[in-house]
Amino acid sequence: MGSSFSADLTGKTAVVTGASSGIGYAIAEEYLRNGAKVVGLHRRADTEHRGDYLPVVTDLADPEWTREVVAEVLQEHRLDVLVNNAGINLRHPFEDFPVEDWDRVQQLNIRSVAELTQSFGRPMLDRGSGVIINLASMLSFTGGFTASAYAASKGAVAQFTKSVANEWAPKGVRVNAIAPGFIDTEMNVALLADEIRNRQILERIPAGRWGTAADIAGAALFLASDAAQFVHGTVLPVDGGYLAR
């Protein structure tokens, strides 16, 4: 007989990076609605959520500041779930890609993910339980256009997720990633406004629409819950069927 699982996160504490807007905001809201305490790491000081929410202001592009904040969070909280959501995409033709912008993308999109996973993951390993959810991308699978730094970083996130899952699954810590498709958020305002490109994108999505931040939050709730107990090392596309076409 199979077991019955719940998505109830009552009693759990989650850290969500970039919880001040877009996908991160929606994930934090979904976790709060399902009983979790959420610690949000973000740059905006004015972020508000209903429920047991603790905003922590930091800049993940600043490793020293981030390490100080992580130490403070770990002193005060037992962490059950980490969602590495914060990210940036700086676009340039590759032949003109400034090395400073390349480094900014890698710092936020993969180095901070690795550092936060390591720091917050150690207590999880000590307890033998915990969940890490990384935000990958469609560009973990495809190359994109004028997005070489972003594609490189998100390809790294996918492979990093699989590698750490191989190490930590036997120790009771689940490590997975979500690969959002084309989602109607601030990051994609220019694409949504581009009539031709927008039409091309919609023509390839079998579901016939752009995704919403809530679509990604639903997947993040599943992966954080007991319903995903046997899910390790996956990169879950939430893309309306985009990759299938």
Of 175, 60, 173, 176, the C-alpha closest to 111 is: 60
Which residues are known to be catalytic?
150
What is the C-alpha separation between 193 and 209, in angstroms, rounded?
15
Sign of CA dihedral 169, 215, 22, 97: positive
Contact predicate 183/218, CB 8 Å:
no
- Strand 130-135's sheet: what is its strand order? 53-57, 37-42, 13-17, 81-84, 130-135, 173-180, 235-238
The C-alpha torsion from 110 through 227 and 212 to 159, rounded to 10°, is 20
Determine phi and psi for 106, rounding to 5 degrees: -65, -40
CA 225 to each of CA 37, 111, 221: distance values in angstroms, whole numbers, following the listed order: 14, 26, 6
In Å, the largest CA–CA distance within the chain is: 59
What count of other Cβ atoms lies within 10 Å of the Cβ of residue 229?
10
What is the C-alpha separation between 103 and 88, in angstroms, rounded?
11
